[in-house]
Structure 1
């Protein structure tokens, strides 16, 4: 995912930077509301990987 998205995810408490790789570890959702947040993070990462 883009660097600015990684920062937003970390700052919001939804994940942490991977200790070795330049990736983000995103925490799993605990309820239905959190599923949507994680879904949006995953979609942003997917779009970035596809060059969108």
Structure 2
């Protein structure tokens, strides 16, 4: 049986860090969540062929 870390990994780790930064800047965790949601939706709606690498 392997032990799992209680810290999120991958996307969830990035998401939590992003929320922490935006919460500090905005002063409101709910506003940071809304902003993160809007950013993710925009990324998912963007045509991958139009994304500059």
Indicate the TM-score class for this superposition, using the shorter chain for normalisation.
0.3 to 0.5
**Higher normalized helix content (fraction of residues):** 2
**Which of the pair has more CA radius of gyration?**
2
TM-score by length of 1: 0.37
| More relative contact order, 1 or 2 (CA 8 Å, 6+ apart) | 1
**Higher normalized strand content (fraction of residues):** 1
